[in-house]
Structure 1
Amino acid sequence: MRSSIGMPRALWLLNRLRCMRPAEVAYRLRQAGINLLEKRGWLDTVNGGAIQASPRQPGVLKLLPLADGERDALLLAADRICAGHVTLFAGRSFNVGALPEWNRDPASGILGPAVYAGGIDVLDHALVGDIKYVWELNRHLHLVRLAQASLASVDPVYLRTLAAQLRGWLDQCPPLRGPNWTSGLEIGIRLLNWSLLWQLIQGDASALFAGASGQRLRTDWLHSIQAHCRHIERHLSRHSSANNHLIGELAGLFVGAATWPCWSASKRWRALAAAGLEDEAVRQYSRDGVNREQAFSYHVFSAEFLFAAGLAGHAWGQPFSSRYWQILGRAVRFLRSVRDIEGHVPMIGDADDGAAFRLGVDDDDRAAQLLALGAAVFDTVLDNSPPGSAGARWLLHALPGARPATGCAASESAPGWAFSEGGYLLFGSRFGAPDEIKGMLDCGPLGYLGIAAHGHADALAITLSVAGEECLVDPGTYSYWQEQKWRDYFRGTSAHNTVRIDGLDQSVSGGRFMWLKKAAASIERMPLAPGQFDFCGSHDGYLRLPDPARHRRRVRFDEASSTLVVIDEVAARGEHRLEQFWHFAPGLALSLAGDGLHVRGRRFALHIEVSGVNLVLELVSGCENPPLGWYSRSYESKQACDVFRITSLSGAVPVECRFTISFAGHGRQLQHAPGPT
């Protein structure tokens, strides 16, 4: 990204430079030189006639056995695409026409320029609209849906629409021209989906390539694929940008080079990508399976790429190492561990609802899809795993082959509770049972690498689910490009179940995807078990204040009494304004009491008793200026939620919250907490 909306370009550039080491500055200068050579046409993008080998196809694919109603749903979705309607992100439908204008933003209607991509400011709304919507359409997830439908029906309309849309894309988006060539990650995702599409239409044997026009389509498509691979190789996201973008780029390059080994460079591309993916899997996932971006949506996103590349490698006889699969097994285990019995995963860190592939018509739960993939690949019956998802079955169908030798031990499949290297600890009782209590404490780093792009200022925050019903929640992300105040709020400290001091975030932002000063959390006392949980930790985010302050949080959970105690204190010389925030899921009934708060859900009741000195207790919901009391389940949508804010002007005396949980007619019969009638 070249700049950040709402911040002067010069200031953003200065902040970005502050996050770079000398080696990265040299790399950026080198990339600028490559851009200049490409713009002037001094670097080849496509070597038109040098196709040296045929594309690959793992055999004739028959229709995947479909569940009741699944074929009808698939064809209905494909019919909507043929009529010009596509679904972007998490369920937002847009009419882009049967023959889309691929450089047009579906949300604003702005048509981006078909000029050299390296010179396009993708954050200029007047020029390109909202680039996220342009990119999402051009991932071509919906073209794969047409390929699936062509397997499920003899109606030629699906292949005909696919051919027309692909032909239009190749004509409108020549190499290095327009907004669809501005992101290496998007190019990688497009290659991945083109590969899935290729397999599903039967590759070279497809009716898509019949006749002279079909052969021209095939030739032009291969030339674009070659340009995609070359672009990724030249513009890999390195240094402080080497997060999920690099994994996505390498996965696209590997799958592209493996599917279409048609050029002299293909072997080099494949080797570069395979080695890079092996390295990045180690770098970007902790040894206990947590993605280091500290954003659970990107934990899933990166794992989707790694699974797709790994399965493609196995299908083509170029398998990845057992270490690679062990890392993926641990990533699946972590996701399974934090997921509650109703499938909720805390919305830690950034999320934009983007997917590497979308093969199931109704598979909106990508965490469930990843768990299903893990169950299939690692050949295990997993606690708390959903039934096999359609998306997982389609991916395995498009990339067939024997399961890889993963080397995963049985102990690495069982759910866990302590992920201290990754930065998360679980507390609660009866995990996996109907009366499960599952809480999570965030005691990890802010994010990954120098800019920690997708991390939130949420050190020592807590989430809580009771009997599969969300209670204490992380409010999510909302949007990357809406008004600055919303980006600042949703990634800031006041949007998380932790403590803010003197009205300041724990970490200092330098832009929408950049943190200049990062709060570092440390564990001072490690709990022994989730049911007898006794934790103490602190972070240094407020040591930057004129009167340095350290926030220390003690968390205790007792399984026998279903009681959670949270004690916050500020260690400093003078007084500070301490604000403690508790965000509750929409739909819960809340009422203030003299000493705290009553909460009632469908399956549980909760009473919070607060103690301290000079306390102000208030419920806030849907406040606009400044924002407080908002919740975002999906990208670009938000709704009001209740926030219990506790304010103290005395840092010397701790603020203690005692949460007493009870059930009514759901499993255990505990002492019923008082609540509203």
Structure 2
Amino acid sequence: MARMTWLVNRLRCMSVAEVGYRVQQAAVTRLGKRIDAGAPPPLPRALTLRLQGAPALDAAERAALLDDAERILAGHVLLFADRRFDVGAPPAWNRDPDSGVTAPAVFAGDLQVTDRDKVGDIKHIWELNRHLHLVRLAQAWALTGEERWARALAAQLRSWLDQCPPSTGPNWTSSLELGIRLINWSLAWQLCGGEAGPLFAGEEGERLRADWLASIHAHCRSIARHLSRHSSANNHLIGELAGLYVASSTWPCWRASHGWREQARRELETQAQAQFARDGVNREQAFAYHVFSSEFLFVAGLLGQASGEPFSRNYWGVLQRALRFLRSVMDVGGHVPMVGDADDGAVFRLDATGASRAAQLLALGDAVFGGGSHAHPGARWLLHALPGPRPDADAHETETGWAFPDGGYLLFGANFGTAREIKGMLDCGPLGYLGIAAHGHADALALTLSVAGEECLVDPGTYSYWQAQKWRDYFRGTAAHNTVRIDGLDQSVSGGRFMWLKKAGAAIERMPQSPHDFDFRGSHDGYQRLADPVRHVRSVRFDGASHTLVVRDEVAARRPHEVELFWHFAPELNVRLTSTGLSARGKGFTLQMQAVGADLKLELVRAAEHPPLGWISRSYEAKEPCDVLRITTVSSAVPVECRFTINFI
């Protein structure tokens, strides 16, 4: 019944053209089960960039990288942001390393990857099989020249090719995963010396090369047949195209390679423009996927530079604007608000420090566009693996901004970039991208705030895609964001874990003139669907001289409704209720809040589970308690006004 409900909801989000495409894809999958054959013999040519050694690393960077490589040899691999799993040596590639469930080695089109009893958590399997850790072994070889690292890499590849033949098992069920794997295979290929490297020495090496190339051909063929289209054409399509472009450029070994490369290149140019707003915001309204998609575009672009087939100035302009937005929303402490979905997915992992991927991306942009000093080790490694001239780009792109109305974000505050920084962000954009808005959250008119580089009012993040439904619903729901909920209902109507059926639309009614003298008014229509329609209007004023933030929420309806207003505080803060409101204290600031309205009830909630409230997730599959102020009243018109006063210690 749950599966049937999901199918009905999914059909409701599809156009007639998409239904036809899905039927065609199902036929292609079934046909592939019968007619897929091995790869044709490769032509004797591949792209080998003839790299020399490794980039300059300090002693600590070198030691951390080699320590991680040693752990991989022992079967302990870092997955997601910071969780290390025992995957085996060599790994059991079709096993979920968390639950221990091994997916059956059947035709990939017959697998239901959401069946946890038979497959486990598919996210864990896919994460291991992206092969980010294989690049670490190639880095260790490039650093030391020790053959044991090349042998370890060859052994891992050999075991994967044996356990995961084309079209068989869970690792052939997602074109995006195939694309990421191809990118990391390309990086490992270059860092290990390409065709002349130690991987392919001797008879065993020749067999490894032949089998690897056959699998690469099957990857490319599968991606080209199963590109994400229509309402699924989000970061998945960018990742699939990037993988297809990188593979067909690195290994232009078959007659189809030229066509794959040109198609991928052409569509990447188009998707870069389509999936990023004119002001640089990724249209999925999920900041982690903003970084993720940018990583794909960078890898493809850099390989184009290295191979003498550069992408256009417009393509690089998209990346410049994307970095400008990311740099703008990051506070002086390096924090980026956790807007929308996040699963810690990375296209590549080239540093061993666990540093912020947003910081790595900005460092990469500084090096590529500004000729910077490659301060981040991950950026240094990527530019070493994919060397080439600087792209044709606008050298005068503004470093930061505060107004991103096309993407739907406005910044307010004072002293940006200094130790006394106050930086707030208001979300006044769409729910997400395309028909299902898969990675957006029901967060219209929510805001975040950091002070002196410390997070204060936070977006609690994502936690998990596949844990119990209540957790998925909570973290993407309205109650998990600093905004208003009516009658206990989310602003938008969910149709599944990655689907919204009815989407709240936000509108800017009064545009501020500056971040330090900020005066905003906006509304959304998410509760117009109720039998007694409700209109939520939020006004936000920030005065930079007095460090005062005033948020006024109005609801307009014919009859009274339950109104809840939520404020989520970072776990590191000391938060307590006062007689008139709330007090929060950080390392370098204090914040006082007063709430004014009719019959208000103020309640501080922490770590509630039934229903969930008072949680934050800073990495995938991890959550911790945080304090949430819930303000409730019953009203049809009386506004609620919250006044925040910030003082530095």
TM-score bracket for the superposition, by shorter chain length: over 0.9
Matched, 1:54 2:41: no
Match of 2:469 in 1: 484
Kindly provide the amino acid, as one letter, of the partner of residue 381 in structure 2: W
Match of 2:573 in 1: 588
Q: Does the 8 Å CA contact 1:471/1:585 hold for their aligned counterparts?
A: yes
SS of alignment partner, residue 384 of structure 2 = helix
Match of 1:32 in 2: 26
Match of 1:82 in 2: 73
Matched, 1:505 2:490: yes
Matched, 1:392 2:379: yes
Q: Find the aligned partners of 2:535 and 2:321 in 1 and give their Cα distance.
A: 33
Q: Does the 8 Å CA contact 2:40/2:254 hold for their aligned counterparts?
A: no
Matched, 1:270 2:244: no
Kindly provide the amino acid, as one letter, of the partner of residue 553 in structure 2: D
Q: Give how far 1:47 is off.
A: 2.8
Kindly provide the amino acid, as one letter, of the partner of residue 402 in structure 1: P
SS of alignment partner, residue 552 of structure 2 = strand
Matched, 1:181 2:166: no
Q: Find the aligned partners of 1:24 and 1:557 in 2 and give their Cα distance.
A: 45
Match of 1:298 in 2: 289
TM-score (norm. length: structure 1): 0.95
Match of 1:236 in 2: 227
Q: Does the 8 Å CA contact 1:363/1:390 hold for their aligned counterparts?
A: no
Q: Does the 8 Å CA contact 2:364/2:374 hold for their aligned counterparts?
A: no
Q: Does the 8 Å CA contact 1:303/1:331 hold for their aligned counterparts?
A: yes
Matched, 1:156 2:156: no
Q: Find the aligned partners of 1:541 and 1:230 in 2 and give their Cα distance.
A: 43
SS of alignment partner, residue 271 of structure 2 = helix
SS of alignment partner, residue 310 of structure 1 = helix
Q: Does the 8 Å CA contact 2:238/2:268 hold for their aligned counterparts?
A: yes
Question: Which residues of structure 1 form unaligned runs of 5+?
Answer: 1-6, 665-677
Q: Does the 8 Å CA contact 2:104/2:119 hold for their aligned counterparts?
A: yes
Q: Give how far 1:413 is off.
A: 3.0
Match of 1:170 in 2: 161
- RMSD after superposition: 1.0
Match of 1:538 in 2: 523
SS of alignment partner, residue 622 of structure 2 = coil
Matched, 1:126 2:117: yes
Kindly provide the amino acid, as one letter, of the partner of residue 204 in structure 1: E
Q: Find the aligned partners of 2:545 and 2:346 in 1 and give their Cα distance.
A: 41
Matched, 1:627 2:621: no
Matched, 1:70 2:55: no
SS of alignment partner, residue 638 of structure 1 = strand
The match for 2:107 among 105, 109, 116 is 116
Match of 1:673 in 2: none
Kindly provide the amino acid, as one letter, of the partner of residue 184 in structure 1: S
Q: Give how far 1:70 is off.
A: 1.5
Q: Give how far 1:155 is off.
A: 2.5
Match of 1:3 in 2: none
Kindly provide the amino acid, as one letter, of the partner of residue 386 in structure 2: L
Match of 1:209 in 2: 200
Q: Does the 8 Å CA contact 2:444/2:504 hold for their aligned counterparts?
A: yes
The match for 2:184 among 185, 193, 201 is 193
Q: Does the 8 Å CA contact 1:45/1:231 hold for their aligned counterparts?
A: no
Q: How does 1:569-608 map to 2 (within 5 A)?
A: 569-608=554-593
Q: Find the aligned partners of 1:98 and 1:61 in 2 and give their Cα distance.
A: 29
Q: Does the 8 Å CA contact 2:75/2:87 hold for their aligned counterparts?
A: yes
Kindly provide the amino acid, as one letter, of the partner of residue 579 in structure 1: E
Match of 2:309 in 1: 318
Q: Give how far 1:387 is off.
A: 7.2
Kindly provide the amino acid, as one letter, of the partner of residue 104 in structure 1: R
Q: Does the 8 Å CA contact 1:615/1:647 hold for their aligned counterparts?
A: yes
Kindly provide the amino acid, as one letter, of the partner of residue 76 in structure 1: D
SS of alignment partner, residue 568 of structure 1 = strand
Matched, 1:378 2:369: yes
Which whole-Å deviations, capped at 9, do the CAs of 1:629-664 have from their partners, x for residues lacking one? 000010001011000011111231100000000001
Kindly provide the amino acid, as one letter, of the partner of residue 101 in structure 1: A
Q: Find the aligned partners of 2:346 and 2:212 in 1 and give their Cα distance.
A: 23
The match for 2:6 among 4, 8, 12 is 12
Q: Give how far 1:154 is off.
A: 3.1
Q: Find the aligned partners of 1:46 and 1:13 in 2 and give their Cα distance.
A: 34
Q: Give how far 1:61 is off.
A: 2.5
Matched, 1:454 2:439: yes
TM-score (norm. length: structure 2): 0.99
Question: Which residues of structure 2 form unaligned runs of 5+?
Answer: none
Q: Does the 8 Å CA contact 2:370/2:395 hold for their aligned counterparts?
A: no
Q: Give how far 1:595 is off.
A: 1.5
Kindly provide the amino acid, as one letter, of the partner of residue 28 in structure 1: R
Q: Find the aligned partners of 1:58 and 1:13 in 2 and give their Cα distance.
A: 47
Kindly provide the amino acid, as one letter, of the partner of residue 270 in structure 2: D
Matched, 1:404 2:391: yes
Q: Percent identity?
A: 66
Which whole-Å deviations, capped at 9, do the CAs of 1:123-181 have from their partners, x for residues lacking one? 00111110000000000000000000001113222111111110000011010000000
Q: Does the 8 Å CA contact 2:81/2:354 hold for their aligned counterparts?
A: no
Kindly provide the amino acid, as one letter, of the partner of residue 68 in structure 2: A
Match of 2:631 in 1: 646
Match of 1:560 in 2: 545
Q: Find the aligned partners of 2:523 and 2:532 in 1 and give their Cα distance.
A: 17
Q: Does the 8 Å CA contact 1:315/1:399 hold for their aligned counterparts?
A: yes
SS of alignment partner, residue 102 of structure 2 = coil
Count of residues in correspondence between the two structures: 649
Q: How does 1:634-673 map to 2 (within 5 A)?
A: 634-664=619-649
Q: Give how far 1:291 is off.
A: 0.2
Q: Give how far 1:97 is off.
A: 1.7
Match of 1:288 in 2: 279
Q: Does the 8 Å CA contact 1:380/1:413 hold for their aligned counterparts?
A: no
Q: Does the 8 Å CA contact 1:363/1:389 hold for their aligned counterparts?
A: no
Which whole-Å deviations, capped at 9, do the CAs of 1:27-67 have from their partners, x for residues lacking one? 0000010011011x22x353332x12411111232221112
Q: Give how far 1:205 is off.
A: 0.8
